[in-house]
Amino acid sequence: RTHTRMETMRRLPRYRTVVRREFTTWIRDTLAPIAPARSGRALHAKVADPSKSNVEPNERPAPDVPSPRTWRLRRPDSGWREHEAKSASFRHPVGPGGVPITTGAAAAALEAAENERLRVRAAARRDSAIAEKLGEEFSTRTMRSFHSPLRKHLTLDPLISEYSVDSPEGVALMQLAEALIRTPKEAGRYMPARLIRDMLGAGNLDFLSHFGGDKSLLINASSVALSTVRGILPKHVPGGDFFDESTRGLAGKGSDAVLEVGVTRALGLMARKFTMGANIEAAARRAMRAETYNPQRSHSFDMLGEGARTYEDSARYLASYAHAAEAIQAAGFSSPQMSVKLSSLSPRFDELSRRECVPDLSSKLGSLFPIADGPNAFTVFVDAEEQNRLELTLSVVENVIRERAPPRIGVVVQAYGRRAMETLEYLRELAVRYPETKISVRLVKGAYWDAEIKQAQLLGADSYPVWTEKRQTDVSYLACASFLLENSHTLPAPAFATHNARTVADILSMVDGDADEFTRRGCEFQRLHGMGESFDYCGLPVRVYSPVGAPNDLLAYLVRRLLENGANSSFLKRLAQGRDDLMNVDVLCEREPEVSTVIGTPVVVAEESSGVPAMPRNIYGDTRLSARGVDFEYPNFPAAFAAQKAYSPAFKPLVCTGEDSFAELTARLGTFRPNTAKASDTIRSRAVVLRKAADIVERDSVAMSKMIMEEAGKTLVDAVNEVRELVDFFRFYANQAETHLAEPKRLRTVTGESCLLQAQPRGPWLCVGPFNFPFAIVGGLASSAFVAGNPVVIKPHPSTPRCAAALVDVLLEAGAPEGSLQVVVDGPSPEGSRGAREGQSDAGAALVSSGEFAGVSFVGSTRTAAKINQALALNSVEKRAPLARLVAETGGLNVLVADSSALPEQVCDAVLASFAQSAGQRCSSARILVVDNGCKNELTRMIQGGLSAMRVSKNNFDLSTDVGPLISEIAADKARAHCDALESGGAKMLARTIGEDDGALFHPRVYDLNPQPGSDPVAGLNLLEDEVFAPVLHVVTYDGSQAELERVIEAVNRKGYALTGGVMTRCESTKALVTNKLDCGNFYINRDVVGAVVESQPFGGHGLSGNGVKAGSEGYLEQFIAHKVICEDTTAAGGNVELMRTTT
């Protein structure tokens, strides 16, 4: 090579011109056979009229094409207002006429109608004949290239396609690679060996099934090698324990070492293929060589990494971006780009922290932009992330443009988001308002579809924020592409990221296949580094999205890419499978619509189902809707919340001022007699009441949440979740009562006899509720007894009487009979409403001792539950009262186990949510963290950083508050006394939030119970005997061996509690050990241990943690009824008539 790099760069325009001319000639020759069927047209000159479905698109007149929605966007002269939403609520949209979406059919119809409008828009702006011809040619060329002998035998593509995520072997290898590369060095040799044996020793793996004569040499060699290695691994017996390291001989350990080396080298190959370099200097050198070799190629760099959990993380990522920006600009690239993830620059990148994060992120992002502009200027692209951060991202982008006026900025738009077109319109508006900044768009399809679907279901949304079918996403992508081509003068240099040859054909058909027109507008295609290489994009400008990072940063990115491109519906997967019939599919072709009776307009029913419910709240099928959430991620929510008054109940509780204050109540309860004849009607009518009450609570959810915040000191998120849990209780128990209690059950018996099992009310029921969930738990206790037909008396905690009164208010409004529900509260306390002394309820003790109740439901401390149990027994002995039933749910020393195979970021998130959420005042809150010594240091650092980023405040009405005060100063004093005792016993504080305690405000703390290296973790557990109802986490460290882990679990079990537990691990053997050995009622794997969901995760423990059936389970209502068996001899009238009828 005789010329320099700069000489090469000067020749690039000439090279590109030659390629474009060759491509233009090829297009003309390819399209010549169809020329007579086409009419010449300028770009987008003719637009389809959807009312004329029998007319070809290029023959239609040009009316205005309808937008996907009617969006209320700000005008250019309206100025910047930080808290103004840029779109409608994406979680709770409305249908035509402003009607809320309340059914799956309505949600599906709305989605189909929106997508059909996008399809019409895209189809009107392309030439279908050109698209079909180009798609056929592109697909053929791509298929031929991918399956060529050179690529088949000398590249990794066939191997990656063979071991994709739709095979158990591919999943196992992907999980093994991700786990091995993130295992800390401190874990030693035991963890890599354990991971290899766990994952490759699974019984369902058959690597030889991937062997074949027509497959590449690399596939066949890998399949034989993996099968051989698996043959010497210990086999996992389903349901049994996994291997023990101590039983491995020298041969076994030697095979582990060989396999570990092999996997490590394979990961090196993967890193080389899918990342441009381990650092920006190496990546820049490699990219420059690639651009020199292929002048049509350019690069966009992405610094790999997770979202920031701590302020230290965000500072590190910002420094990495700044260094990369400097290195990229110094390298001499032509129009280089760099992607920035805003979530990596702040640990508080969420809507509730908008006031803090928008200026912070604007300042950090603004510091990365170059001062000067030019033809080869450096562009910073703001990467796309989760849909709930879209509004926040646009606010940051707008603020940067408004305050710093960078010469150019890029924004990534995800077409799978249903607000993608709206986002483009908003960016166009910004470009018009701030012409000094060039705004470019990179259009992608989207990479977090599965997470978005799950999140919408978890949050009780009425609609998904993303399209639920792949075809709909493809339609949206093409509609957005047409918008960008139309507006390339306002949003210059649009980039279309795709590996799909047919998508390329559709986009080119929107410019009549004119390559010069495409490049003149500054357009380009983009692909991922290491993927899509078999399609050359016919010499058009292509930018390679180039990840930069060490191998341990690669896997999170790689797994997402493999999941995305390895799905059966992806173009690359169909390419690898040789599916010629699926390569050139026209997603814009018009399909026969079906008339929807829901919204009254024709919609197209999806041909392929993604398997998700049509509406996020339809996860229980036709039985019931899950509770509707509150869209507090909507920027307009804070203003609406401030204007909403807290719910004020009209119901007046009965105040206990002495022994005679509720004599009338107990006398009335004593007259209750169950009526078998009316039992079924009573249950049905009360089920109707519960459903109506659920609708009322859902309607007033914000007012109810505000009431809980005022009385119980909860944060907004916790209060909203509690309201939703109550709604789920009401609907679930209503269904259960109608299904299992209302109708008599016919029992099997001999002929000539009828035996029925009839449910009837057990009798008056007392519900003694806690302060930590004064609405949901108390409502669950009361509604279950109520729907069974019993008279119910609620005794709330002295701190939260309003919530109990509100429950009765709602049930009466829904039609509950007068006198069927009552609330009894204690007399005035010198300490006021909040903060009354626990365990000193005169009203509760008097009610329990009255002997008038057939049962008591209680949630609270183990000690109080034992006292109630004792009092009920004394009632039977001393007052000849009925043997009353106690349904008790108490606390627990809940344990979360984490070994060194678990992803530290995931463990940190789970730990913080498990022990600090709700100020640690959940029955299910984690109290003990059992951690592998191999990951303790890194995990402790992350937890400390996460706690430092938390906002702890007495002002729980500040929506950015993460942790509010405890229920009372007395509770906080108990927590502080416990911490003093821990420190006196030798425990060491590892981490805590920033700030000082103040009265009821108690800062979350983490203590190490065995801080000395090599000290006994079981001895450390001796410092902890009883539950402390506060955000205090107790850490015990074990040496990483499964034998010591089992010993620690046995010590925890001896404490006697059995409520919740969990494990964070990617080792099947660790998961099996903890799952089988830890005694608890609810067990969670690789997630936090709080937030049990009605019906999905019935909640409750045993031992010292409770004695009843799990709340929210199918058998729960059986505790509140008595069964009557009605047996009749049907032959008493003179013969067995039924038997005679069946005799021939």
Q: Which residues are catalytic?
A: 889, 923
Cα gap 1141→1144, rounded to integer Å = 8
Cα gap 922→1000, rounded to integer Å = 16
Residue 766: its H or E element: strand 765-768
φ and ψ at 1036, to 5 degrees? -120, 140
Cα gap 405→398, rounded to integer Å = 10
The backbone region for 490, taken as left when phi is positive above 0, alpha when psi lies in -120 to 50, beta otherwise, is alpha
Residue 407 burial (CB < 10 Å; 0-12/13-18/19+)? middle
Cα gap 1084→408, rounded to integer Å = 47
| Alpha-helical regions (H) of 814-901 | 842-849, 862-879
Cα gap 377→373, rounded to integer Å = 5
Residue 343 burial (CB < 10 Å; 0-12/13-18/19+)? buried
Query: DSSP for 486-512?
Result: HTTTTS-S-EEE---HHHHHHHHHTTT
Cα gap 1106→1081, rounded to integer Å = 9
- Partners of 992 in beta bridges: 1005
Cα gap 299→287, rounded to integer Å = 7
Are the beta carbons of 896 and 806 closer than 8 angstroms? no
Q: Tell me whether strands 855-859 and 765-768 are parallel, antiparallel or unpaired.
A: parallel
Query: DSSP for 698-740?
Result: HHTHHHHHHHHHHHH---HHHHHHHHHHHHHHHHHHHHHIIII
Are the beta carbons of 154 and 90 closer than 8 angstroms? no
What letter represents residue 517's amino acid?
A: E
Sign of CA dihedral 146, 151, 155, 158: positive
How many residues appear in the chain?
1144
CA dihedral 58, 64, 68, 74 (to 10 degrees): 140
Residue 435 burial (CB < 10 Å; 0-12/13-18/19+)? exposed
Would you give the DSSP letter of residue 920? Answer: G
Cβ-based neighbours of 320, under 8 Å, separated by 6 or more:
303, 305
What tokens appear for 661 in the block? 């204050």
Q: Tell me whether strands 1082-1085 and 821-826 are parallel, antiparallel or unpaired.
A: unpaired
Are the beta carbons of 577 and 144 closer than 8 angstroms? no
Residue 990: its H or E element: strand 988-992
What tokens appear for 577 in the block? 């499978």
Are the beta carbons of 1062 and 906 closer than 8 angstroms? no
Are the beta carbons of 800 and 711 closer than 8 angstroms? yes
What letter represents residue 528's amino acid?
A: L
- Partners of 424 in beta bridges: none
- Partners of 1125 in beta bridges: 757
Cα gap 1118→679, rounded to integer Å = 14
**SS3 (DSSP) at 636:** coil
The backbone region for 929, taken as left when phi is positive above 0, alpha when psi lies in -120 to 50, beta otherwise, is beta
- Rounded to 5°, angle at Cα 415 from 132 and 430: 120
